[in-house]
């Protein structure tokens, strides 16, 4: 996946629109457990911040260290720089995996295999 947003990370954080609460509520309703969630391609962490209200621990990944530097720091969010197609997470670690607006950048075949492994 190409890093398209590092050069504009600070502007991205300011101008990126948020997500409606109804979407968050719907996603949370889909999972019976709320221990661990993963926000892949988190950008500046907008979705991760919303999920942190409902999950004990949220992990948020992005390929751009600059994007993560601009993310809001919340106690139960752990940020890391890694591609969504190959992560260092354990098998079956997550109760919910979310990708807000980046899935079109992924290599679908490797991404799908990774999701099945860690969900």
What per-residue confidence (pLDDT) applies to 95? 99
Which pTM value belongs to this model?
0.87
Average pLDDT of the chain, as a whole number: 91
In whole angstroms, what is the distance from residue 53 CA to residue 2 CA? 30
For residue 7, pLDDT beyond 80: no
Tell me the residue length of the chain. Answer: 119
What domains can you pick out in the chain, each with its CATH number?
Answer: 7-107 (3.40.50.150)
What per-residue confidence (pLDDT) applies to 101? 87
Question: Each residue of 75-96: pLDDT tens digit?
Answer: 999 999 999 999 999 999 999 9
3 state SS of 34: coil
In whole angstroms, what is the distance from residue 29 CA to residue 44 CA? 24
């Amino acid at each position: 996946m190409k890093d398209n947003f590092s050069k504009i990370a600070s502007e991205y954080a300011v101008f990126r629109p948020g997500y409606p609460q109804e979407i968050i509520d719907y996603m949370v309703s889909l999972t019976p457990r709320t221990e661990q969630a993963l926000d892949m391609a988190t950008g500046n962490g907008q979705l991760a911040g919303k999920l942190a209200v409902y999950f004990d621990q949220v992990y948020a990944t992005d390929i751009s260290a600059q994007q993560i530097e601009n993310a809001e720091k919340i106690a139960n969010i752990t940020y890391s720089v890694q591609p969504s197609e190959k992560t260092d997470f354990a098998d079956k670690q997550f109760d919910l995996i979310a990708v807000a607006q980046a899935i079109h950048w992924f290599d679908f075949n490797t991404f799908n295999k990774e999701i099945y492994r860690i969900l």
